[in-house]
Structure 1
Amino acid sequence: MLGIAIAGIGLWAGLAHAAEVRLQLKGGGFEITGDLKVYDGKKYIVESPVFGLMTIDSNRFDCVSTNCPTAPTINPEFIGSPRAPLGNLGTTSWMGGSGIGTNFMPELVKSYAATRGFTVQQTIGTDNRDLIFTLEDKAGKEVGTFNVLRRGVGQGYRDLIDDKVELVWTSARMTDAQQADFTAAGLGRMRVEGNEHVFALDSMVALVSPDNPAVSISIENLAAIYAGRITDWAQLGLPPGKINVYAPVDGMGLLMHFKNTILSPRGLTLTPDAYRLGTVVEWSDEVALDPNGISFNFIGYIRNAKALNISTDCGLITRPTYFSAKTEEFPLSRRLYLYTKGRPKSLLGRELLDHALSPEIQSVLKAANFVDQEPELLGFKEQGARIAYALNAAAEDFDIEAMRNLITDIAPAERLSTTLRFVVGSFTLDPKALQDVQRLAQLLQKPEFKNRQVILLGFADAVGGYASNLKLSQSRAKAVEAALRNAGFSGAITKGYSELAPVACNDTPENREFNRRVEVWIK
């Protein structure tokens, strides 16, 4: 963290000597006093007699003493001699698959460069899978290099262990076997805050022509179509017609994702009769023109096709929207990850990572056809299918009075897409939820939320009795309220509603995990 201050010294005015400052948590309740070493406009570095050297986020703390810095500043005694070269950001190398490496990483570095006033020069490495981005300041001086190595996640993890790269990007969470490799290397847990970072979301959608009368499809039937077991629309209760199956060519990341999530878990393989197409545009546009066709694509590439709802065996139907992707309640949604061994060693690596997780990058993600993490609001009426399902739940899972109370709470409110989930078997927020809490606390302190009521609704899965699940749901809501207070926002109301209003069937461990959640509603 100290490198952030040191490398930017050329931008800051110096202090003659250390000055004691008092930093107060926004909203009060906690203070830190210490000698100010660095203030870069975003963070304070202070040396506290109680806590030692600390980096404090200025978005969460206010300086309330009489000698607070009014401009970026640095205490020369903190640097020592010799000083770091002016503007030297260093070199950082990141590795992962071709999809994110091609579609997002170039946009990330361009967006970052724009915030710093740099220009970017892009070249191809000796391995044509490598993109080399050279950053230059306004004088044309080289200040840093970003190597985007599109050599795959497996190689990326091996190189992260060996310190050959500082970060690995991936569209799938690190597996137990991959974690074991890091453990064997003495590197500890990777799927925790500080090492695991969710930078975006995505959803795969099933597509048909607007002229096709189909509205919904189950994942089981989608798999059966792509395996060649269902070949006519009449088998799904629709007007007869041979189903024309469209799929990406071999080697495409989307096809691998479809096989891994839809076909392989059911012991199925792709039908040889599928029409194979090579681009994301074709995967949507070809099926849009074929009333008997079916395809799949990422949610950002629906284009002129029609995306189908996903139905489940328990009767729950979910629409393919950006909102349902952001809540992670659309069954084909997924998280996109960045993995590091703590903070990257290079200054450029740290700043790029921070930018990849920042509010500023959300519009860039959306423009690149990913699902950003900017919270959205959705009214009660737009969630009618979910409420209807909840009102018709099995008797053993249902409490009519509690359901009336829930509807009373949410009918005049809007739901935020931010939905908090937990580490399995605990009340500990998972790494994404910890990131979300920080974003949420900042959002709720904006003027547009000043006179609105924030309600945190906790929910549980259907394992166990209603009463015990009620306590669990209440505890989850209180855990989020405490995390929000620590992040600088207080005043939220907490309520628990046991296993009511599930967002997934309670038939598998993975689905039950989705139901163990806290929703955020705004009145």
Structure 2
Amino acid sequence: MLRILPWLLGLLPLLACADPAHLRIQGSNTIGAALAPALVRGLLQAQGASGIETLPGPVTNEVQVRARDVAGQPVQIDIAAHGSSTGFTALRSGEADLAASSRPISDVETEQLKAFGDLRGVASEQVIGLDGVAVIVHPDNPLSRLSIAQLAQIFSGQVSRWEQLGVSGGAIHVLARDDRSGTFETFKALVLDPQQVDLAAPAQRFESSEQLADRVKSDRQAIGFSSLAAVHGARVLAIAEGQAPAMLPTPALVASEDYPLSRRLYLYLPGQGVRAQAQALAEFAQSPAGQAIVAEQGFISQQVRALPAPVQAGMPPRYRSLASDARRLTVNFRFQEGSASLDSKARRDVQRVTEYLRQSGKLQDQAVLVGFGDPKETPGRAALLSRLRAMAVRRELARAGVEVREVTGFGDDLPVAGNDQEQGRQRNRRVEVWVY
């Protein structure tokens, strides 16, 4: 609790000028179903509000959080959770003060909302947590893993019977989220689009992950995908991409974004004219108290931890030594597409890693930065570029007072994704942090 006090004191100027009357949040069902209301309640409690209650809204997947602020004035926050795309539409029309999204804003949406400022800027694009799109089957289904290519074949209808996958079960019943869902857009971008296929027309569609997961649990022949927080007892499959090993959406693999279907959860704030209460909510979501709520709701928080890594065959000798003697932090630094600049999440991760090292007494000569990349035609270029990425992270950490022990690059070794698509190559361009 004492560690939260400095943050709360720093937030007081925002809270003092906040308009308590009304705040409108629209967008992702993944965020809006439970996480957004929980974060709103946490913020109101931090502000000293009383009589906090959550009530059903006028239609399904909408809620209102009501309270009274410290002056006794009424507060109302409306949350509409009808899909990520609806948040950007509502922001543009003036019907929302911030948008919740379970996928990044698109180029078209960025252009449509340019009057609100640069929504891809660090202040506007706020990553509040991480999630894994979990591929789920009935608990009695013996299947344990699938590749991205197999997933695309199943959800496009090219593979239509469980026997084609080596298990019994008859016809496959395909379940998917609806077109407004950020979960579907993420699945489409990571699974269907790279294989140049469309979702099979007979697929059953659902507005919420909870509805989909409940149907999977009641249908032995079903397969679907949902937020990791909404699995609710269904069997989760390990997913493999390219030459990388199959991975389950464990907290560590989702936190590092190594899991192939990892995704970020966002709040998007207008770059101009943002309401103080909207800004306060975004800052609260980033705080330790807010990240604790993210974890409580079944998502993956951005709080940094150091975990042991198993030594595996095929590891380069230096990497094997790290795995034996050091621990890996649960964060990977990633970069803007086509750039050597850190992306919006990585910039905040610099602060989180610095704070972790400070609290652990490891600011000086205890951290190792390991860069990775994708294959290049020129010999040695992949190793050089991976080291340059690690050096870019070192510069940012140095500005925050961190002196790292070593910077190294492993080129295209140990990929976490395939390299035949740009999105896979982008995921392989990463920097890990290890500590002694």
Which residue of structure 2 aligns with residue 296 of structure 1?
A: 225
RCO greater where, 1 or 2, for CA within 8 Å and sep 6 or more?
Answer: 2
Code of the residue aligned with 1:520 in structure 2: it is V
Which residue of structure 1 aligns with residue 65 of structure 2?
A: 133
Alpha-carbon separation, structure 1, partners of 2:231 and 2:324? 31
1:233-312 aligned within 5 A: 233-236=162-165, 238-247=166-175, 253=181, 254=183, 258-259=187-188, 261-263=190-192, 266-270=196-200, 272=202, 280=209, 283-284=212-213, 287=216, 293-312=222-241
Alpha-carbon separation, structure 2, partners of 1:42 and 1:143? 25
**Contact map agreement 1:93 1:146 (CA 8 A) in 2:** yes
Code of the residue aligned with 1:404 in structure 2: it is P
Aligned-residue identity in percent: 28
**Contact map agreement 2:87 2:101 (CA 8 A) in 1:** no
Where 2:113 maps in the other structure, the secondary structure is: helix
Aligned pair count reads: 428
**Equivalent of residue 422 in structure 1, options 321, 330, 335:** 335
Which residue of structure 1 aligns with residue 47 of structure 2?
A: 116
Alpha-carbon separation, structure 2, partners of 1:491 and 1:179? 37
Q: Tell me the CA shift for residue 318 of structure 1.
A: 2.2
- Bigger Cα displacement from structure 2, 505-514 vs 174-183: 174-183
Q: Tell me the CA shift for residue 206 of structure 1.
A: 1.8
The answer to whether structure 1 residue 172 and structure 2 residue 103 are counterparts is yes
The answer to whether structure 1 residue 364 and structure 2 residue 293 are counterparts is yes
Q: Radius of gyration: which is bigger?
A: 1
Can you give the 5+ residue segments of structure 1 that lack an aligned partner in the other structure? Answer: 1-39, 45-56, 59-71, 75-83, 392-402
1:66-215 aligned within 5 A: 89=20, 91-119=22-50, 120-122=52-54, 131-137=63-69, 141-142=72-73, 144-150=75-81, 153-154=84-85, 156-161=87-92, 165-183=96-114, 185=115, 187-215=116-144
The answer to whether structure 1 residue 405 and structure 2 residue 318 are counterparts is yes
Alpha-carbon separation, structure 1, partners of 2:242 and 2:58? 51
**Contact map agreement 2:244 2:416 (CA 8 A) in 1:** no
- Bigger Cα displacement from structure 2, 102-111 vs 486-495: 486-495
Q: Tell me the CA shift for residue 290 of structure 1.
A: 6.2
Alpha-carbon separation, structure 2, partners of 1:261 and 1:280? 18
Alpha-carbon separation, structure 1, partners of 2:266 and 2:433? 24
Q: Deviations over 1:468-520 (max 9, x none)?
A: 22222222112112212223433453222222221111111111111111101
Q: TM-score, normalised by structure 2?
A: 0.84
Q: Tell me the CA shift for residue 94 of structure 1.
A: 2.8
Where 1:518 maps in the other structure, the secondary structure is: strand
**Contact map agreement 1:91 1:349 (CA 8 A) in 2:** no
**Equivalent of residue 258 in structure 2, options 323, 329, 346:** 329
Q: TM-score, normalised by structure 1?
A: 0.71
RMSD between superposed Cα atoms in Å: 3.5
Q: Tell me the CA shift for residue 343 of structure 1.
A: 7.0
1:21-100 aligned within 5 A: 41-42=6-7, 89=20, 91-100=22-31
User: Cα 1:344–1:480, aligned 2, differ >3 Å: closer, same or farther?
Assistant: farther
- Bigger Cα displacement from structure 2, 349-358 vs 277-286: 277-286
Can you give the 5+ residue segments of structure 2 that lack an aligned partner in the other structure? Answer: none
Which residue of structure 2 aligns with residue 16 of structure 1?
A: none
Alpha-carbon separation, structure 2, partners of 1:520 and 1:510? 22
Alpha-carbon separation, structure 2, partners of 1:212 and 1:127? 36
User: Cα 1:99–1:319, aligned 2, differ >3 Å: closer, same or farther?
Assistant: closer
Which residue of structure 2 aligns with residue 398 of structure 1?
A: none
Alpha-carbon separation, structure 1, partners of 2:222 and 2:304? 34
